[in-house]
Amino acid sequence: MIYVDADACPVKAEAEKVASRHLERLAFVSNGGLRPSENPLVEMIYVPDGPDEADKWIAERAGRGDVVVTGDIPLAARCIEGGARVVRHNGEIFTPKNIGTILATRDLMADLRAADPFRQGGGRPFTKADRSRFLEALDRELNAARRERTA
């Protein structure tokens, strides 16, 4: 199963394309506002409004043999803890080895922003290369998850 944290996901169409190629079930989890897919492999999950409701829903279900697509680092950490594989929208893979450093960096940057309200910045723009890396990474992680299920 592929779980997509779908509210601000820029790669929904790509995730659906990979799921279809692998004949893998896909759940788009959001607070609403997403157009339903006609693809029989795709399930639209609408959770109540509220902070982190989609994250909670995904983290409670994702486990070994599943792949989660998210840019949310705390959600990624929870899913990894549950045994799932996690891919960021730009193709970066969150793993048990790198998630601690990524969480610490996230927390440090939040502290720096809080200490300096005039700090400018933000993420770099999402590119075609990011989209391509995501397709490759999701395909690779889905194959690895499938092997885990059969092991």
Per-residue pLDDT of the chain (151 residues; tens, 9 = 90+): 999 999 889 999 999 999 999 999 999 999 888 888 999 999 999 999 887 899 999 999 999 999 999 999 999 999 999 999 999 999 999 999 988 777 776 666 666 666 676 666 666 788 899 999 999 999 999 999 999 988 7
Domain at 2-150: CATH architecture:
3-Layer(aba) Sandwich (3.40)
CA 146 to chain centre: 17
First to last CA, the chain: 16
Flag whether the pTM goes above 0.75. yes
Q: Give residue for tokens 């929208």.
A: 89
Encoding tokens for residue 42? 């795709």
pLDDT of residue 135: 96
Beta carbons within 10 angstroms of residue 113's beta carbon:
13
